[in-house]
């Protein structure tokens, strides 16, 4: 019998992702092990730019994303690092992770 309920065209939509370099993967694994949390690569990028002193508007322009997305990444990073404020997050990243030291 034929499956009438499935009306897919046969082609699955796939999003194009850029593969990470070896260096980026090792940094991501080191950070994840230090923080004991599942941190995405984009959250790390935003965290690094925050630690360097950039504002959300600057980070959005550099990463070609919206300001709201940067604020969301900052919020999730604060939750994962258990920091209540943006400034505590910055000082936490600078103190605990060598890649964020200025």
What's the confidence (pLDDT) of residue 13? 52
The full 3-state SS of the chain, as one line of letters, equals CCCCCCCCCCCCCCCCCCCCCHHHHHHHHHHHHHHCCCCCHHHHHHHHHHHCCCCHHHHHHHHCCCHHHHHHHHHHHHHHHCCCCHHHHHHHHHHHCHHHCC
The pLDDT of residue 9 is: 53
Q: Are 89 and 83 in contact (CB under 8 A)?
A: yes
What the chain holds in terms of domains, given with CATH numbers, is 40-100 (1.10.10.10)
Distance in angstroms (rounded) separating the CA atoms of residues 80 and 39? 8
The pLDDT tens digits of the residues spanning 4-63 come to 555 555 555 555 566 667 776 666 666 665 566 678 888 888 888 888 889 999 999 999
pTM summary value = 0.62
């Amino acid at each position: 019998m034929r499956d009438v309920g499935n009306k897919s065209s046969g082609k699955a939509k796939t999003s194009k992702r850029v593969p990470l370099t070896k260096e980026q993967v090792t940094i991501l694994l080191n950070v994840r092990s230090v923080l004991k949390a599942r941190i995405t690569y984009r959250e790390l990028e935003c965290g690094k730019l925050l630690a360097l002193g950039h504002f959300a508007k600057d980070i959005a322009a550099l990463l070609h994303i919206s300001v709201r997305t940067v604020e969301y990444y900052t919020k999730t990073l604060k939750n994962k690092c258990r920091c209540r404020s943006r400034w505590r997050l910055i000082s936490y990243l600078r103190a605990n992770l060598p890649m964020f030291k200025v």
